[in-house]
Amino acid sequence: MILSCQNISKAFNEQPVLSNVSFHIEDYDKAAIVGINGAGKTTLLRIIIGQLQADEGIVTLSKDKTIGYLAQNQDVDSENTIYDELLSVKADIISMEEKIREIEFNMKLVTGAELDALMDSYARLTHSFDLLNGYAYKSEVVGVLKGLGFEETEFSKKISTLSGGQKTRVALGRLLLQKPDLIILDEPTNHLDLNSITWLETYLLNYKGAVLLVSHDRYFLDRIAGKIIEIDQTKAVSFTGNYSDYAIKKEQLRAAAMNAYLKQQQEIKHQEEVIEKLKSFNREKSIKRAESREKMLSKIEVLDKPTLTRTDIHMTLTPRYTSGNDVLHIEGLSKSFGNQTLFTDIEMDIKRGEHVAIIGDNGTGKTTILKIINDLIPADKGRIILGTNVHIGYYDQEHHVLHMDKTLFDEISDAYPYLSNTEIRNTLAAFLFTGDDVFKRIDNLSGGERGRMSLAKLMLSESNFLILDEPTNHLDITSKEILEDALNAYEGTVLYVSHDRYFINRTASRILDLSGGMLTNYLGNYDYYLEKKANLSVSALSNTAGPKKEETVSETKLNWQAKKEAQAKQRKKENDLRKCEESISSLEGKLSEIEAAMTLPEIATDVAKLQELTKKQEELNTQLALLYDQWETLAE
């Protein structure tokens, strides 16, 4: 065991963030901490590395073990170049190399016993140098830099001139080269493109130490993690397996807990009805039996209603106008900035109802294409033709659509004055803004909250062509799932840029890969794109004949279609289950309102009104019983 956390508790302003959190990391574990934004993930990491003091509990790191930590954002303060900054990690090896060269020079000048002593020192040093991979340390530094997306032309850039994202990549490179026994990473993929993320995945999978990370990148978690530590409502629970394994187990536990809760509620309600009936007989025997049942009922340990793991958007994303079948046509599009050519003569056609993802390395021009389509920047040449009745809704990374000085409520109210207060609140609640949250100023929101707010405005716009630039940036996993379900139910057309492979997998029907200034079309989601690329690479290497290649691609497509159909069925089942739960909650609320109303003096003396409420109560109880049965069937 390399790390042990025992009963870690932490509160801020008497508000608990972590309560009795316990888990351990073995020497070669690859583990991930997951939870919604604000759950306490980063707080836990800071306690582990000693940046923050826990209120209670013990963090134990095994003796003689080293630990390295990468925070979400790094402000590396150095006048070194990028290359020299990473090379400084190898200072001990460089010093050893200089000592070896010095001994080699001195051996030419001495003889006898002095030479023997130098040769002994030389043998020891070269052996140690070899064990530390000293002969390849420069190649190692270059490999890490290139893996993290730095071009050789950038190696000479000074750290002080870099952006925040580039500094974070430099800090990650330093950490990887230091090779601590335990690497702790907080959102390591935030500033990496797809190729760099893939490289980092391979590096960490082969890393000869333990890894503990926090990430909202579910595809990354699926590839890296063998253990998931979930923080939910200040508590921590460990699950064996990757993120998909955890999600399945979590849903099974939630379904079991909900089933137990519903059954107990049904039994309690039944017992209460029997007790009431026995009392109504008004006989000594029946009253005693009622009292006996009441005692038994009072001893039941009432289960808490399980909190839903996510809150869905309770709205239908139906465009006000239906566009023509041809939504977007682009031909001969080219764009350069100075001497840098991004793309030349690219073409694109998008049909109504398609969900198209543009992928590619950082700096290839993906966002530029979206900005050109939205008339935010001009193209050098080319034509962009929008189809009949196409209305664009644009989501940009900087959230320019928002007014920072307004409250959330006013932002929606001013943009859509025809909405009632209830409709505005319902819309904001659908995007996880409830209670007094609606009166927060937008400039006080986090990046993820601004993202959700921008999406709320976008969905209300009733556009029929959504153009989204990195829509999942800064969103936690719950918010990403909300957005995925919303887009999958959306009846319009979607074009987006994203590095989130899990998100692309769930929402894209087609992928456009922007590479080398050209767009390559792949008819399928991200998994299909990877399979197709692999098949094409194998075909190119082995010079496979045409018919065999077509057969492979066709079979892959059929497999992909079958997988998509299975996923669609599963999503429908999950949606039906959640709708049933929402209906149960709604009926329970209505019954509570009726019960409260029946206690009011003005109603208690109104026989007609009481009869009306009693009849309504009976109808709702009948509906509720049917919903309980339906829920059990769906849960099974």
**What gap in Å lies between CA 276 and CA 268, rounded to an integer?**
12
For the domain covering 1-76+162-241, report its CATH number: 3.40.50.300
Domain 326-525, CATH class in plain words: alpha beta
Q: What is the largest CA-CA distance in the chain?
A: 120
The lowest-confidence range among 133-147, 357-371, 471-485, 532-546 is 532-546
Helix (H, G, I), strand (E, B) or coil at 515: strand
Q: What is the pLDDT of residues 304-339, one digit of tens each?
A: 887 655 544 445 566 778 899 999 999 999 999 988
Q: Hey, what are 240's tokens?
A: 């064996």
Residues 6+ apart with CB under 8 A from 577: 255, 631, 634, 635
* pLDDT tops 70 at residue 404: yes
Question: Across 355-455, where does the E strand assignment appear?
Answer: 355-359, 381-386, 392-395
pLDDT at res. 539: 64
> What does the pLDDT average to over 471-492?
83
Q: How far apart are the first and last CA of the chain?
A: 39
618 exposed, middle or buried (CB, 10 Å; 0-12, 13-18, 19+)?
Answer: exposed
Residue 352 near residue 463, CB atoms below 8 Å:
no
Q: What is the pLDDT of residues 86-103, one digit of tens each?
A: 999 999 999 999 999 999
Q: What is the pLDDT of residues 204-251, one digit of tens each?
A: 999 999 999 999 899 999 999 999 999 988 999 999 999 999 989 988
**What gap in Å lies between CA 225 and CA 211, rounded to an integer?**
9
Q: Which residue has the higher pLDDT, 545 or 99?
A: 99
Instruction: Kindly indicate the confidence band of residue 513, based on its pLDDT and cuts at 50, 70 and 90.
Output: very high
Residue 431 near residue 313, CB atoms below 8 Å:
yes
* pLDDT tops 60 at residue 556: no
Q: Which amino acid is at 425?
A: R
pLDDT at res. 547: 46
Domain 570-636, CATH class in plain words: mainly alpha
What is the helix (H) or strand (E) element at residue 567, kind and residue range? helix 546-598
Residue by residue, DSSP assigns 269-316 as HHHHHHHHHHHHH--HHHHHHHHHHHHHHHTS-PPPPPPPS-----S-
pLDDT at res. 491: 84
Edge-first strand listing for the sheet containing 510-515: 392-395, 465-469, 493-497, 355-359, 510-515, 518-522
> What does the pLDDT average to over 385-407?
86
Q: Give me the count of residues in the chain.
A: 636
Q: What is the pLDDT of residues 267-318, one digit of tens each?
A: 998 889 889 888 887 777 778 888 998 999 998 888 888 765 554 444 556 6
Give percent above pLDDT 70 in the chain: 91
Nearest Cα to 230, choosing from 252, 214, 210?
214
**What gap in Å lies between CA 113 and CA 119, rounded to an integer?**
10
pLDDT at res. 398: 67
Give Rg (Cα) of the chain: 31
